Amino acid sequence: MRRRHFLKTLLKTLAVISAVTAGPPVKIPTKDPLKTGFGDAEAMRALGRHYLDLHPEETSAARAWRAVLADAGRTGMRGHAARQARSELEGGEVVIVDGWVLPRSLALTCSAMALA
Amino acid sequence: MFIDLRNLGDNSVLEADICIVGAGPAGISMARSFIGTSVDVLVVEGGDLEFDATTQALYKGESVGVPYFELDEARLRFFGGSSNHWDNWCGEFEPIDFAARSWVPYSGWPFEASELEPWYDLARPLCSLGPRRKVEEIWGKLGLEPLAFDDSRLRFHFWEIAGPIRFGETYREDLRKARNVRVLLNANATECRSDTTARMIEAIDLRTLEGRRAKVQARFFVLACGAIENARLMLASDRVEPNGIGNRRDLIGRYFMEHPRDRIGSLATGNPFAVIDLFRPGWSGKQSYCPAITVPEERIRAEQILNTRLELRYASDETSMATMRRFAQSIQAGRMPDRLAEGLWDLIQGTDIMAYNLYRRAVHNRPIVPRPDGVHQVYFLCQAEQAPNPDSRITLSDRRDALGSRMPVLDWRLGELDKRTLQVQGKLLGGELARLGLGLFQFDPWLRDGGNSWSPTMVGGYHHMGTTRMSDDERTGVVDANCRVHGLGNLYVAGSSVYPTSSNINPTLTLVALALRLGDHLKKRVTERA
């Protein structure tokens, strides 16, 4: 009985592990990436590169956006980007990059970083 | 009255005004509606009062399309039908579900949503549901403030859940006592026999697994044995019409629909608890409600998509609540819980969340939630409307079952519109969740590309629909608006096989409403003839 119980427990454990790990390989940041910038600058640059690969026509917009953010300065940059993102989300202006549904300005911010 | 065909003489002939083939929710609801009338009703059921594996095996079949459940697992063949494994998640179809939509080929019912309302009112108590409520009223009953979605982009629609109703148990005594209703058990319908012009059904052949034969003669026949079996029986009845009875237009078995269910993506959020709490099923009296996210009709029209619903789910490594449920079930059943020491340790570790949940339940009547730091993923699951597709179909195999009947072959197919709908709806969802500051949504990989590839984990909802679809035009439908088979004067179909489109909500409440409506129609026809 003990052995049977052990095997049952083992099987259930394996089933749980496989159920947890069998899902699609989606990497979930622990924090809201809208607030944490996807965790680090390299992740943002990767996302930006991906966006420009998908939409090369956005390259000039990304450059322009980079200039706008540069003008806003380091302290003003975050507030400016957040206001723009808010405005886009109100208007339903979102883009999809690597599966993420993002306000366009966030995609442009990532692209600007990728171009830097 | 219940009769067992195995106890009748071989080659018995039974007579009735109306013969209903199948004792699932449609057949039982309709038969029950005749109780106390002067109409003589005979219900023939392939199974017995309880499950039997040999009978259940008659539901076996092949699946050659999108991967699907084993066909004998997806429904039940005994008195009560598939309500015997039903969780009773219900809801009414919405107006757009009945509308002809130019971007959805073959869409449109022969009537509007308002036509069904009186029968929904009668069907609701049969499914143990309370009165119809508006979404705002339900949120009020639950004491919750819904997410403030932009109502031009997303809206809420609730599942209504009243606990499992086993039609075979709940309404058994009603039928047993009824003087004008007989239920014939272990009576498997194998063929609908028509006259030589194939305009009237004269009899239905019955067989038991032991080889005993009988036939039913009736003025009207109603097939109510599920979307796979209704099609199978009509296709197999090919003695006069070589493609099957009522199948002059080669429509029977086509347009098989399901509700594709799979995760569409996940939410990266710093506060999973905020969203989880809003999406858990909540109680109002004995009934509970589970919110889902749908798209408003105007946006559906603008985006030219289907009407699909999304629900929020989470993955958690916290187990104490599950252990508590397990313990409660064991104690209720009067036995000692298994793995007692392991469970007790689990409960000790989860004392805080258990206390919190007890408080929520006792004071605020709110459902169980997981420990926030135990949640490692919040994701969304779709229950999708499937566009009608003539190539998604039931045909007959050359293989035969124990009764000698040809087995069904399911070729379930999905199309581009089905997938694009999820992409559009996910994008709307992601935008709204970000706008509300709840986090960022990311599509699962299978939805990031176009094309018609589907997730390998995609399943259906055990909801079979569309194989004898309804249309006033016999070129596009098997049955008319009264569920009468085109070209046949006395053959009717009940159940979700008549749905021209599938909506996104579980089909049982609507099929019960349609069965009651058909019952009323037949009451008139019986009287007219008499």
Residues B17 and B220 sit within 8 Å (Cβ to Cβ): yes
Cβ-proximal residues to B196 (8 Å cutoff; 6+ apart), any chain: B240
Distance of CA B418 to the CA centre of its chain: 19
pLDDT at A10: 37
pLDDT at B306: 98
pLDDT tens-digit map of B318-337: 788 788 888 888 888 888 88
Vertex B270, ends B264 and B275: CA angle to 5°?
55
Cβ contact, residue pair B270, A25, below 8 Å: no
Closest CA to B96 of B460, B501, B512: B501
Give mean pLDDT, residues B426-434: 96
DSSP B87: -
Rg (CA), chain A: 21
CA distances from A25 to A21, A48, B420, B444 (A): 8, 20, 22, 8
Instruction: Return phi, psi of residue A80, to 5°.
Output: -65, -45
Please state, rounded to an integer, the average pLDDT across all residues of chain B.
94
Give mean pLDDT, residues B248-276: 93
- Contacting A with CB below 8 Å, chain B residues are 150, 153, 263, 265-266, 268-271, 315, 376-377, 426-431, 434-435, 437-448, 455, 457
Q: Is A43 on the interface with B (CB under 8 A)?
A: no
pLDDT band at B441 (very low <50, low <70, confident <90, very high): very high
List CB contacts (< 8 A) between A30 and chain B.
Answer: 270
pLDDT at residue A27 is higher than 60: no
Distance separating alpha carbons of residues A41 and B506, to the nearest angstrom: 46
Distance separating alpha carbons of residues B482 and B512, to the nearest angstrom: 14
Q: Is A77 on the interface with B (CB under 8 A)?
A: no
β-strand partners of B62: B409
pLDDT at residue A3 is higher than 60: no
DSSP B93: -
Range with the poorest average pLDDT among A26-40, A52-66, B25-39: A26-40
- Among left, alpha and beta (phi > 0; psi -120 to 50; other), residue A108 is alpha
| Of residues B150, B315, B434, nearest to A101 (C-beta) | B434
Cβ contact, residue pair B431, A89, below 8 Å: yes
B259 or A47, higher pLDDT: B259
pLDDT at residue A36 is higher than 70: no
pLDDT at B529: 54
pLDDT at residue B61 is higher than 60: yes
Range with the poorest average pLDDT among A15-24, B42-51, B419-428, B498-507: A15-24
Give mean pLDDT, residues B78-90: 93
pLDDT at A43: 82
List CB contacts (< 8 A) between B268 and chain A.
Answer: 28-29, 31-33
Size of interface A-B (CB pairs under 8 A): 85
- Give the long-range contacts of residues B206-212, CB within 8 A, separation 24 or more: B206/B5, B206/B44, B207/B403, B208/B5, B208/B6, B209/B54, B209/B55, B209/B402, B209/B403, B210/B6, B212/B5, B212/B6, B212/B8, B212/B10
Q: Is A17 on the interface with B (CB under 8 A)?
A: no
pLDDT at A30: 44
Q: Of A18-27, B51-60, B158-167, B357-366, which has the strongest mean pLDDT? A: B51-60
DSSP character string of B314-355? EEE---HHHHHHHHHHHHHTTSPPSSHHHHHHHHHHTHHHHH
pLDDT tens-digit map of A5-21: 534 443 343 333 333 33
Residues B157 and B295 sit within 8 Å (Cβ to Cβ): no
pLDDT tens-digit map of B166-213: 999 999 999 999 999 999 999 999 999 999 999 999 999 999 999 999
Strands (E), chain A: 94-97, 100-103
DSSP B410: E
Which value does ipTM take for this structure? 0.87
pLDDT at residue B487 is higher than 80: yes
Give mean pLDDT, residues B149-157: 97
Alpha helices (H) along B304-453? 320-332, 340-349, 351-359, 416-435
Burial (0-12, 13-18, 19+ Cβ within 10 Å), B286: exposed
Is the four-CA dihedral B189, B191, B196, B198 of positive or negative sign?
positive
β-strand partners of B218: B16
The two structure tokens encoding residue B146? 């819904």
Q: What is the 3-state secondary structure (H, E, C) of B148-163?
A: CCCCCCCEEEEEEECC
Cβ contact, residue pair A34, B431, below 8 Å: no
Give mean pLDDT, residues B292-315: 97
Give mean pLDDT, residues B515-525: 97
Give mean pLDDT, residues B8-34: 97
Q: Quickly count: other Cβ atoms within 10 Å of residue B273's Cβ.
A: 16
Distance separating alpha carbons of residues B370 and B354, to the nearest angstrom: 9
Q: Quickly count: other Cβ atoms within 10 Å of residue A26's Cβ.
A: 16
A2 or A11, higher pLDDT: A2
Closest CA to B315 of A33, A99, A10, A19: A19
Percent helix, strand, coil in chain B, to 5, is 35, 25, 45
Closest CA to B164 of B226, B92, B83: B83
Give mean pLDDT, residues B389-401: 98
Give mean pLDDT, residues B137-157: 94
**Distance (Å) from the C-alpha of residue A97 to the closest C-alpha of chain B?**
9
Q: Is A24 on the interface with B (CB under 8 A)?
A: yes
Give mean pLDDT, residues A19-34: 40
Residue in A closest to B317 by C-alpha: A20
Q: Which residues of A70-99 are buried (b: 16+ CB within 10 A; e: fewer)?
A: eeeeeeeeeebbeebbeebbeeeebbbbbb
Residue in A closest to B430 by C-alpha: A101
pLDDT at B209: 97
Percent pLDDT > 90 in chain A is: 27
Distance of CA B281 to the CA centre of its chain: 19
Strands (E), B197-286: 201-207, 213-223, 261-268, 282-284
Distance separating alpha carbons of residues B420 and B450, to the nearest angstrom: 8
pLDDT at residue A44 is higher than 90: no
Percent pLDDT > 90 in chain B is: 79
| Of residues B271, B435, B455, nearest to A90 (C-beta) | B435
Cβ-proximal residues to B57 (8 Å cutoff; 6+ apart), any chain: B72, B401, B402
pLDDT tens-digit map of B226-238: 999 999 999 999 9
Rg (CA), chain B: 24
Percent pLDDT > 70 in chain B is: 100
Residues B494 and B223 sit within 8 Å (Cβ to Cβ): yes
Cβ contact, residue pair B263, A24, below 8 Å: yes
Q: Is A74 on the interface with B (CB under 8 A)?
A: no
Cβ-proximal residues to A37 (8 Å cutoff; 6+ apart), any chain: A43, A44
pLDDT at residue A37 is higher than 60: no
pLDDT tens-digit map of A87-107: 999 999 999 999 999 999 999
Q: How far is the first Cα of chain B from the last one, in angstroms, to the nearest whole number?
A: 24
β-strand partners of B89: B161
> Do strands B41-44 and B181-185 pair parallel, antiparallel, or not at all (unpaired)?
parallel
Residues B202 and B212 sit within 8 Å (Cβ to Cβ): no
